[in-house]
DNA sequence: CGTTTTTGACCGGCGC
DNA sequence: GCGCCGGTCAAAAACG
């Protein structure tokens, strides 16, 4: 950046007292001194700004590097998780077959995972079976699906999960496996937004609302209404103990739904975002990725299993 | 009066 | 092919 235009380079910094001697009046001398002082302070300000700019640029670069490292680590962990789950899927499928319940395919696939927002890819061990069929398997996990469990008050009978977005209810059904009705919502903030949400009370703990999100918002999150009690509340998120899961701790964490939520916003470091270089956004992304990984119960369980499998040889 | 919610009807996938 | 079931539609009702 060019700041020289701000400085009058014609100023003679080597002015000698002799010039003062020839000045017409004391007032003029004082004006010269004031002018000099003003320009010197401007110059200091410019240097300070340049220094600040350099500092911010350095920090920006550092955060970019951190984000890159984080993305790489994320991909490595994701691949490890994918491998681990592809091994475990066999036993889960067998268990599902043994219980004899008539479940739809789509529902039984990811039923045991609280949050499926981590894209595990369509390729898995079962792909070999599908390759034999004539009809190629469609990329059925194109739409991102995630589940969020929200602790509500016992007296709260509504099926409303406030997450910052505007939803329009378009249906309600009582499903076979749960006497509590399931509500169907569409995102009404943008008419073209494909995101849908299903909300149903947990069969095991009816104070817990299970919200299932499908798809990704194609619009920014609507602005919050400041001070609104309906949007500025903390809710408690619980990981629901699964009957087929042996390592569910039932740990309770508190999630402030007034902030952008991880389960809904898939972090896309490579997205074409003009503000991606903003240090604030980059830090936000880093924090979101870190918390996304650590808060995901299935991810923690898989990591724990992977670690224990590493140290404890299988029997 | 426009928007949202309710609710019964309808549709399509899946298992038998 | 039939029935079950989850998901969606759309008209009516409710709401602000």
pLDDT at A182 exceeding the cut of 80: yes
Contact (Cβ atoms closer than 8 angstroms) between residue A272 and residue A284: no
Residue A223: what pLDDT? 59
Q: What is the pLDDT of residues A72-108, one digit of tens each?
A: 666 667 666 666 655 554 333 333 333 333 444 434 3
Contact (Cβ atoms closer than 8 angstroms) between residue A192 and residue A203: no
At A277, give phi and psi (nearest 5°).
-90, 0
Residue nearest to nucleotide B3 (CA to C1'): A168
pLDDT at A228 exceeding the cut of 60: no
Which residues are registered as beta bridge partners of A14?
none
Nearest alpha carbon to residue A244 among A83, A94, A141, A86: A94
- Measure the CA–CA gap between A102 and A51, rounded to whole angstroms: 68
Lowest mean pLDDT among A116-120, A191-195, A294-298: A116-120
Is any atom of strand C within 7 angstroms of residue A105's beta carbon? no
Mean pLDDT of all residues in A226-255: 37
Residue A30: what pLDDT? 74
Is any atom of strand C within 7 angstroms of residue A104's beta carbon? yes
Token readout for A155 is: 């007296």
Pairing of strands A234-238, A181-187: unpaired
CA dist A299 to A40, A79, A80, A82, Å? 59, 12, 11, 10
Residue A275: what pLDDT? 41
Token readout for A303 is: 């990591």
Chain B: positions less than 7 Å from a protein CB are 4-9, 14-16
Lowest mean pLDDT among A153-157, A166-170, A183-187: A153-157
- Measure the CA–CA gap between A121 and A236, rounded to whole angstroms: 30
**Exposed (0-12), middle (13-18) or buried (19+): which is A221, by Cβ within 10 Å?**
middle
**CA of A212, C1' of C15: distance in angstroms:** 27
Which residues are registered as beta bridge partners of A254?
A236
Chain C: positions less than 7 Å from a protein CB are 4-10
pTM: 0.44
Residue A193: what pLDDT? 79
pLDDT at A48 exceeding the cut of 70: yes
**CA of A92, C1' of C3: distance in angstroms:** 28
């Amino acid at each position: 950046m060019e700041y020289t235009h701000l400085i009058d380079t014609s100023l003679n910094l080597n002015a000698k007292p002799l010039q003062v001697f020839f000045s017409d009046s004391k007032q003029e001398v004082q004006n010269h001194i004031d002018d000099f002082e003003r320009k010197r302070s401007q110059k200091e300000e410019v240097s300070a700004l340049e220094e600040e700019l350099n500092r911010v640029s350095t920090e920006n670069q550092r955060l970019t590097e951190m984000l890159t490292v984080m993305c790489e680590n994320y991909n490595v962990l994701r691949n490890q998780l994918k491998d681990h789950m592809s091994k475990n899927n066999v036993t889960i499928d067998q268990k599902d077959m043994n219980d004899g319940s008539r479940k739809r395919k789509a529902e039984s696939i990811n039923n045991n995972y609280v949050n499926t927002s981590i894209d595990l890819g369509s390729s898995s061990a079962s792909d070999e079976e599908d390759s034999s069929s004539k009809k190629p398997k469609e990329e059925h996990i194109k739409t991102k699906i995630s589940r969020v469990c929200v602790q509500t008050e016992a007296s709260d009978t509504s099926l409303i999960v406030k997450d910052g977005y505007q939803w329009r209810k378009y249906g309600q059904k009582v499903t076979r496996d749960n006497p509590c009705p399931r509500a169907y919502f569409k995102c009404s903030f943008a008419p073209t937004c494909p995101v849908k949400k299903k909300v149903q009370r947990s069969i095991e703990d009816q104070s817990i609302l299970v919200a299932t999100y499908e798809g990704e918002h194609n619009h920014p999150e609507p602005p919050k209404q400041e001070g609104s009690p309906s949007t500025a509340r903390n809710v408690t998120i619980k990981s629901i103990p699964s009957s087929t899961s042996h390592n569910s701790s039932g740990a309770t964490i508190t999630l402030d739904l007034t902030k952008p939520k991880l389960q809904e916003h898939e972090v896309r470091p490579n997205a074409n975002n003009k503000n991606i270089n903003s240090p604030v956004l980059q830090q936000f992304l880093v924090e979101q990725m870190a918390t996304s990984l650590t808060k995901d119960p299935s991810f923690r369980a898989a990591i724990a299993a992977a670690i224990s499998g590493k140290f404890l040889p299988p029997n």
